[in-house]
Structure 1
Amino acid sequence: MKSIIFLIMMLVMPSVAFAVQEPTERVKLGVTDIISIASDSTLSVEQKKQSLSDVIEKHVDIQASAQRVLGKYWRQASDTEKRQFMVLLKGVLVDTYIVLLEQYDNQTVDYTNETIKKKVYASVDTEIHTKENIIPVSYQLYQRNNEWKIYDFVAEGLSMIRTFSNDYKSTLKKSGVSGLNEALAAKLAQT
């Protein structure tokens, strides 16, 4: 009987230990994945975009990001509009990061601080060291289903969420989430 209980514990424990990952570890894994894409010269732009999409799916809580970008409009949107916006936001992130990947030049990242609030919110502070200077970047994470994922990052005082919210504010006021979705889909189709 003891051996059966021990076997069950051995099967369950690795999955539990693996699921609860510390915030800094999540950010390190995400940064490592992005650097590997940036430094792989064999990948085409389309392959890099697909790899970025996979990395975002793995490390970013798109729903948490979308809720914060849309603010009060999230509650007013239909489930279909929400799902469509999350897909489009992921596309915007891929297009944003693909441009940043082209600027990669062997920068290094130091992980300087981790703060956890209310057991479900975390902030991981980093410093990106370039040849010329040091750029502070803070990653904001949310824990859902025992898994930490990034929902925002702040580089040199500029929040991705606030930037997108400000960029989309007039379209949301004028046309709501459906109008924003149409505008984003058209923009993404051009890239």
Structure 2
Amino acid sequence: MYRTRFIAVIFLSLLYLGLSSAGVAGAATQTRPDPMEQLRPFVNEIVGILTDKDLAGKANCRKRRQRVMAAAHERFDFKEMSKRVLGREWRKLSPQQKEHFVTLFTKLLEHAYIGKIEDYSKQTVEFKRQRIRGNRAEVQTVLKEKNVTIPVSYIMILENGNQWMVYDIIVEGVSLVRNYMEQFREIVRQGGYSELIKLLENKIDTLEHDLSKTCPIDLPRKAAP
């Protein structure tokens, strides 16, 4: 269902943003923060988590994943992503349904993708340029490994006047949001929204089951007698 190379590229690129930067179109101003610069601390935090010796190993797998997701929530707007992947269907949902879908979609991204970033290697990513139009921005980067060059763009929205949040990633011209939107739209067309929810819940259950084999759940330690 999901393109393996697309998944891997997205998260490898998240890890290695920020080695250099080039021209900027629509530069940030004194009253408008710089989207490219707001990505850097996020990337540094992710790398720090994955290289932290205290979080290394199978025993710390869940804790490590929780830290990564906590960092992701600081820079990714999962509600905006959810809204866009559902398109017109989003407007038909009740507030409770919207909240439930955001939770499911976020879990799907977590379980389907986070494991990919734990096996990263030393690819390099260059910041190329950023384009800002109003409260939207695109940060263009290039992922490089040996003779392979892959363009990766981060689509961001300015929230609360001071935070640039990622709501889409485009790899080699393929949008993460559009990729899911097309899949979800077809599922809803054939079986309705309830069918989409059922499929998402089943997929998440499967991913969680697979995860439990390699990433044990942290259990509280019993006190010594």
TM-score normalised over the length of structure 2? 0.69
AA partner of residue 110 (structure 1): E
In structure 2, the partner of 1:111 is 127
Structure 2 gaps, min length 5: 1-30, 208-225
In structure 2, the partner of 1:172 is 188
What are the superposed Cα offsets for residues 86-134 of structure 1, whole Å, 9 maximum, x if unpaired?
11111122123323214410222211101001x2000000112223422
The total of aligned residue pairs comes to 172
Residue 39 of structure 2, aligned match among 17, 27, 33: 27
Q: Whole-Å Cα distance in 2 between the matches of residues 27 and 78 of structure 1?
A: 33
AA partner of residue 129 (structure 1): K
What's the % identity of the aligned pairs?
28
What secondary structure, in the 3-state scheme, does the structure 2 residue paired with 1:106 have? Answer: coil
Correspondence list, 1:1-191, <5 A: 21-40=33-52, 42=56, 44-117=60-133, 119-146=134-161, 147-191=163-207
- Stretches of 4+ aligned residues off by more than 6 angstroms: none
AA partner of residue 27 (structure 1): L
Q: Is contact 1:84–1:181 with CA below 8 Å preserved after alignment?
A: no
What secondary structure, in the 3-state scheme, does the structure 2 residue paired with 1:104 have? Answer: coil
TM-superposed deviation, 1:36: 2.9
Identify if the C-alpha distance between structure 1 residues 164 and 40 changes in structure 2 by more than 3 Å, giving closer, same or farther: farther
What secondary structure, in the 3-state scheme, does the structure 1 residue paired with 2:84 have? Answer: helix
AA partner of residue 155 (structure 1): V
AA partner of residue 201 (structure 2): A
What secondary structure, in the 3-state scheme, does the structure 1 residue paired with 2:201 have? Answer: helix
Q: Whole-Å Cα distance in 2 between the matches of residues 95 and 26 of structure 1?
A: 25
What secondary structure, in the 3-state scheme, does the structure 2 residue paired with 1:57 have? Answer: helix
In structure 1, the partner of 2:8 is none
What secondary structure, in the 3-state scheme, does the structure 1 residue paired with 2:197 have? Answer: helix
Structure showing greater relative contact order (alpha-carbon pairs closer than 8 Å, 6 or more residues apart):
2
TM-superposed deviation, 1:164: 0.8
Q: Whole-Å Cα distance in 1 between the matches of residues 36 and 127 of structure 2?
A: 8
- Alignment RMSD: 2.1
TM-superposed deviation, 1:45: 2.9
What are the superposed Cα offsets for residues 132-181 of structure 1, whole Å, 9 maximum, x if unpaired?
42221000001121221000000111110011112212222234434322
Structure 1 gaps, min length 5: 1-18
Worse-superposed segment, 179-188 or 53-62: 179-188
Q: Whole-Å Cα distance in 2 between the matches of residues 93 and 40 of structure 1?
A: 23
Q: Is contact 1:142–1:149 with CA below 8 Å preserved after alignment?
A: yes
